[in-house]
Amino acid sequence: MTGLNTRRAGLGLSLLLTAWLAGCAGVSAITSQVSSYGQWPAGRQPGLYTFERLPSQQSRGEWQDKLEAAAQPALAAAGFELAKEAGQADLTVQVASQVQTDPRPRYDPFWGPYGPWGRGGVGGWWGGRGRGGLSMSFAVEPPHVQTQVDVLIRDRRNNQVLYETHAKLDHVGAADDRLLPYLFEAALKDFPHQAVSPRAVTIEIPPEDR
């Protein structure tokens, strides 16, 4: 590798590592897009609830336990109380989540979309002989992640849907389960009032979770 190529490689790797470390730093707040639907009956109190699981959720019991635990603080803040026995509840709550991760090819206005070493793969080193000799790309650009949580509240007596809400967060980095309680908090932030959907909802993150 020539001296120029060596300097370019060192500069490029330094910038990539700096971006990687910056992406790992904690954030003080998250802003998600929230969409809520349904008409909560006027004058009805939140009341007692029990979690309800779809057959597909029952097959992933450990993950569903974690998801329901993440939703409980937000439900409590909205006035709901988890029934000690399912028969005591007058409401059922279903919670779900989806995570989509998309790799991001690095784009730089000087080097182009594949970094300072030419066209390469995502997630590793690729080498090839190009016009300027050996070409390498080290793709460590953090991926784009979209995390969404869903809450569906039904009347347990007649199975009528009373409230449906979703919170979606787009960010760069790794999927992080620690964000789930704050997404549920955003999803139920305006309960039971109707609001514009989608709308931006910002939730502060405590220092210990950053």
pLDDT digits (tens, 9 = 90+) for 47-89: 999 999 999 999 888 999 999 999 999 999 999 999 999 999 9
Q: How many CA atoms lie within 13 A of 96 on its CB side?
A: 15
- Tell me how far CA of residue 136 lies from CA of 15, 26, 96, in angstroms: 16, 31, 41
**Residue 121, in any domain of the structure:** no
The pairing of strands 133-138 and 29-37 is unpaired
Q: CA-to-CA distance for 209 and 66, rounded, in angstroms? A: 17
Poorest-pLDDT segment among 4-18, 106-120, 189-203: 4-18
**Residue 6, in any domain of the structure:** no
For the beta carbon of residue 105, count every other beta carbon within 10 angstroms.
15
Percent of the chain having pLDDT more than 70?
Answer: 70
Q: What pLDDT score was predicted for residue 19?
A: 38
The enclosing domain of 173 has a CATH number of 3.30.160
**Global pTM value:** 0.72
**Residue 8, in any domain of the structure:** no
Tokens for 17?
A: 């590592």
Q: How many CA atoms lie within 13 A of 65 on its CB side?
A: 4
Q: Mean pLDDT throughout 123-140?
A: 45
Q: What pLDDT score was predicted for residue 210?
A: 75
Among 70, 53, 31, 42, CA closest to 168: 31
**Residue 116, in any domain of the structure:** no
DSSP string over 1-16: --HHHHHHHHHHHHHH
**Residue 99, in any domain of the structure:** yes
Query: Which region, left, alpha or beta, applies to residue 9 given φ > 0 means left and ψ of -120 to 50 means alpha?
Result: alpha
Q: What pLDDT score was predicted for residue 140?
A: 58
**Residue 162, in any domain of the structure:** yes
Pair 162, 153: CB distance under 8 Å: yes
Range of the domain at 82: 29-104+142-209
Contacts of 58 (CB under 8 A, 6+ apart): 64
Q: What pLDDT score was predicted for residue 188?
A: 97
**Residue 126, in any domain of the structure:** no
DSSP string over 70-94: HHHHHHHHTT-EE-SSGGG-SEEEE
**Residue 78, in any domain of the structure:** yes
Q: Between 122 and 45, where is the model more confident? A: 45
- Per the structure, the count of domains in the chain is 1
Poorest-pLDDT segment among 36-40, 137-141, 156-160: 137-141
